[in-house]
Structure 1
Amino acid sequence: MKSFLVSKVGNTSCQTASSTLVLKGILRRVRQVKDRERGCVIRRMTSNDQKMKYLEAKKQMNTLKKSAVFVLYGEERYLIESMIKAIVEQRLTNDEQTEQWITYDLEEQPVEEAIMEAETFPFFGDKKVVVCENSMFLTAKPSKSKVEHNSEILLSYQEQPVDFSTLILVVPYQKLDERKKITKQLKKNATFIECQAVNDWDIDKWVTHFEAQFSLNLDGQTKKLIQEEIGPRLQLLENEMEKLALFKGNDETISYEDAQALVSHLGQSSGLKLVDAVIEKDIKKAIEIYKDLSRSNEEEIALLALLSSQLRTIYQVKILMQKGYQQQQIAQQLRVHSFVVKMSMERAKRFTIEDLYRAIDYCGETDQLIKQGKMDKPLAFEMLLYQLIHWKVKPVM
């Protein structure tokens, strides 16, 4: 799916604080006159702390029609883009989307410019959507941008937004700073939608979501296949489910065999499949998966991090198992989902504590070899796979 973000960045110079406030007042008075002429009423969100997850928001799009200000936060870009697209399609006609879907990058421009845009009556339609990318002033993360934002103007706007504009604040960060005044006030009037990365144990919900979206009818075995082969990569999952829908045509169901034929090549693209191949000590399968991942532009450093993380979790689970801990107790101790613990407990049976310690040590040394430039990344990673599966001598540093 192509990116649906259409950037139309204003090229006006930053206004001084005083001139901005003057212009803002003029625009507000002009807006009030236009409102009276058109018999419009400025609406305001009355619900307090309206906060929901992406799937919940998608189901309630009709009830969100009156929302004038949105805050989309989280690290899953696919969800953010999909929600922006859904809001835009709900508010604007196809013709309006060309001119009235406007995006500002708040790392380059102050938020007051976006507010001025929102308050300016649309000349080529009845509505407009203003998207504010990188609204990082809503987080506790130190900003690298030198742009200063006048949050008071945003505070004033969100209390009485215009009826012809929808303002979307995008925060590509896991957590908002709810101690800040601006965040507290927005929670009273805006709609917050969480767009976090998907965990492995939530994949089934997304398979079900896309199954309904594309009018598919999948049995349990087929769903499990899709979950295992594609994993939590939502963009890829949507594309593959759409492929199944196109293949289905007028047929009512997709058989397991059909799904296996259509998506089986993706199984080689899963990093977790690589982990399983190492655990199964299948060097041929591990190398094949690694080669496929390389063709998909997966970085060795990222694969190494995934491998190390999985082995470290198995190591911790193994130690707690030997101490007599049960699945739920381990989950509480490690602060991970019980599904992760269950899978790790099954994998831990294939290793001794010494094996796991040595494997983690190999991963650490390979990481150093790559980062210090002492060995070519593909060669270093392939050597690591041989070491993990055949327990060869550690590389010379």
Structure 2
Amino acid sequence: MKMDELFANIKQNNFDNIYLVLGKEDYIQDKVVKAFVQCIPEEERAMNIGQYDMESNFISDALNDAVSAPFFGERKLIIIKHPVFLTTESKKSKLDQNIDDLINYVANPEPTTIFLVIAPYEKLDERKKISKQLLKSATLIESGYVSDEDTLKEVKRLIAEKGCTITKNAYELLKIRTEGKMSLLLNEISKLTLLANETKKITEEMVNRMVTQTLEQNIFDLGNLVLTDKITEAIEMYNDLILQHEEPLKINAILIGQIRLLLQVQILQSHGYVQGNIASVLKVHPYRVKLALQSCKKYRQDFLSLKYLGLVKLEEQMKSSQKDARKLFQLFMLGFFSRK
């Protein structure tokens, strides 16, 4: 179900019994939750809204709440968060959840309860019975990524509310620093508008000062140095990351993922796929695909493959030998692990 259709149904008090919100965009998840909360009268919310985090609550408690009658109201809202048992990561859960009871509930939901499952994952493990049952029975709302056009519109609206504007370069840097994710981007707006209180203009320098780079973004810069064979600069940056107590295997895994994405994008593009299709197929943020499309024009596929295989061999050496990671990375940059 599309968001517009969902909000129209909520406005008309037209509800299904079970909803599954699937995807990693917090901004959309929050909008959906707020919309459902608003459909419960304010004076009833304390008794008729239950929120259960599956990392700290048992599903049985949520189900007991779901099957009980609304307290002096028409309906109840039960919100399930972080249902890790729907994914391949369920073995990491600290709680032993009674999934059979949930399967039974999904098959026979309480008619006076809106059962809302927030699954902040790219996809579910469809081999599991509960995942199959949910996808079959629930109304699916995909909290995919917000388009560039809608993101810009929302950012400008929020900034304008504070009487401010943002320069084009500042907005582009903000998108890079937040990886184009609406929820992260909006979190930074309040800080930036506060900083621009006097000038009323958010500049690139302000974004650079206030919005820090993540580890992934630092490694993105490292990856660019690797791909352009800037040996000295790459080694210096790698050593700096190690001094900041970043794990060598984690750095390497992100580098591998970065180059793998370039290869995947390059291959799909050669088969006629465009940005939106590529993002959908690879299940990654469209902004990452946009950056990858810009980058992969610079490199031949065999060159990227060689770098990718070199990083895989580097990882094997890190895991199997006692050699210092910095020394191994130097050997990689010198082409040692890229030799056929």
TM-score bracket for the superposition, by shorter chain length: 0.5 to 0.7
The equivalent of 1:347 in structure 2 is 298
Cα distance change, pair 359–62 in 1 and its aligned pair in 2 (3 A): same
What is the CA deviation profile of residues 268-306 of structure 1, one whole-angstrom value per residue up to 9, with x for unaligned ones?
861322212222334565456556766887644343233
What's the TM-score, normalizing by structure 2?
A: 0.66
> What count of residue pairs does the alignment treat as equivalent?
313
Deviates more, 1:234-243 or 1:218-227: 234-243
Q: What is the Cα deviation at residue 110 of structure 1?
A: 4.8
The equivalent of 1:228 in structure 2 is 176
Residue type of the alignment partner of 1:342: L
Q: What is the Cα deviation at residue 60 of structure 1?
A: 6.4
| Corresponding residue to 1:281 among 229, 235, 247 | 229
Residue type of the alignment partner of 1:278: V
The equivalent of 2:286 in structure 1 is none
The equivalent of 1:52 in structure 2 is 2
User: Does the alignment pair 1:184 with 2:133?
Assistant: no
Q: What is the Cα deviation at residue 360 of structure 1?
A: 2.4
Identity over aligned pairs, percent: 18
The equivalent of 1:307 in structure 2 is 255
Q: What is the Cα deviation at residue 69 of structure 1?
A: 4.5
- Secondary structure of the residue aligned to 1:348 is coil
Q: What is the Cα deviation at residue 331 of structure 1?
A: 3.8
Greater Rg, structure 1 or structure 2? 1
CA distance in 1, matches of 2:29, 2:17: 16
The equivalent of 2:220 in structure 1 is 272
What is the CA deviation profile of residues 159-217 of structure 1, one whole-angstrom value per residue up to 9, with x for unaligned ones?
x225xxx4322334434659956543433xxxx32234x59xx5665454344344453
Q: Trace 1:162-181 onto structure 2 (pairs within 5 A).
A: 162=113, 166-175=114-123, 180=132
**Could you say what the CA RMSD is over the residues aligned between the two structures, in angstroms?**
4.8
What's the TM-score, normalizing by structure 1?
A: 0.58
Which 5+ residue runs of structure 2 have no aligned equivalent?
280-288
Q: Trace 1:1-397 onto structure 2 (pairs within 5 A).
A: 51-52=1-2, 63=11, 67=15, 69=17, 71-76=19-24, 78-79=26-27, 82-83=30-31, 86-87=34-35, 90=38, 91=40, 93=42, 96=45, 100-103=49-52, 105=54, 109-110=58-59, 113-120=61-68, 129-133=77-81, 135=83, 147=98, 148-149=100-101, 151-157=103-109, 160-162=111-113, 166-175=114-123, 180=132, 183-187=135-139, 192-196=140-144, 198=145, 205-206=150-151, 208-215=153-160, 217-232=165-180, 236-249=184-197, 252-263=200-211, 265-266=212-213, 270=217, 271-283=219-231, 285-286=233-234, 290=238, 299-312=247-260, 314=262, 329=271, 331=273, 336=278, 339=290, 342-348=293-299, 353=302, 355-372=303-320, 374-375=322-323, 379-380=324-325, 382-383=326-327, 385-389=329-333, 391-394=334-337
CA distance in 1, matches of 2:243, 2:18: 39
Q: Is the 8 A contact 1:286 1:385 kept in 2?
A: no
Residue type of the alignment partner of 1:52: K
Cα distance change, pair 229–280 in 1 and its aligned pair in 2 (3 A): farther
Cα distance change, pair 133–62 in 1 and its aligned pair in 2 (3 A): closer
Q: What is the Cα deviation at residue 254 of structure 1?
A: 1.7
